[in-house]
Amino acid sequence: MLAMSHSIALGILLLLMAYVAIIDIKFMIIPDPVNAAIFLTGMAASLALAVVNPLSALCASVLGGGFLVLIQGAFRAYRGYDGLGWGDVKFVAAAATWTGLEGVPLTLLIASVSALVYVGVRQTLDRRFNMHHRVPFGPFLALGATSIAGLQILFGRSVADIMEIWMLTPLFG
């Protein structure tokens, strides 16, 4: 059974991530105050829950956001236009406080794969949908961050610990 603090943290996480997804789908923007709330609640959760080390949360924020700045710049240099908004970059930096350093690559993997699946299905169903259509990335980032941070809160362990236990546990027997 989850402790009350873990339940509250999970509820806050789910509300914030749902809000990001809805706003980004509707308006193609992730507001700065929402990113600030995600950052502050993530830092508070890292201090209160002891699932993600506060130093790891800060490092994850800087490195996760920095990595997306590099991706954003590379895309702009290659294509000549922005493919990733600043709201997405700030969101990754903020959400990384919830996932910790180990969770950032998995968050980005889940977000990228789910976005690719969405685009593939959308192109299959609607032939007019092409690479010039804008797709909000925030909902996919929210899915990735919620998956990783949610697992950590539910199990009370970092994603690295969860993966290690999973890898060492025999499948049968």
Q: Kindly give, in sequence order, each residue whose CB lies less than 8 Å from that of residue 153, ignoring residues fewer than 6 positions away.
A: 2, 6, 9, 10, 13, 45, 49, 51
Between residues 90 and 160, the one the model is more confident about: 90
Distance CA 45, CA 43 (A): 5
The mean pLDDT value of the chain amounts to 94
Is residue 144 a contact partner of residue 110, using CB atoms and an 8 Å limit? yes
Provide the pLDDT confidence category of residue 17 given band limits of 50, 70 and 90. very high
Residue 169 has pLDDT above 80, yes or no: no
**61 alpha-carbon distance from chain centroid:** 11
Per-residue pLDDT tens digits for 84-115: 999 999 999 999 999 999 999 999 999 999 99
Q: What is the pLDDT of residue 111?
A: 99
- Other CB atoms closer than 10 Å to residue 96's CB: what's the count? 33
Q: How many residues does the chain have?
A: 173
Residue 170 has pLDDT above 80, yes or no: no
Per-residue pLDDT tens digits for 18-60: 999 999 999 999 999 999 999 999 999 999 998 999 999 999 9
Q: What is the pLDDT of residue 1?
A: 61
Residue 132 has pLDDT above 90, yes or no: no
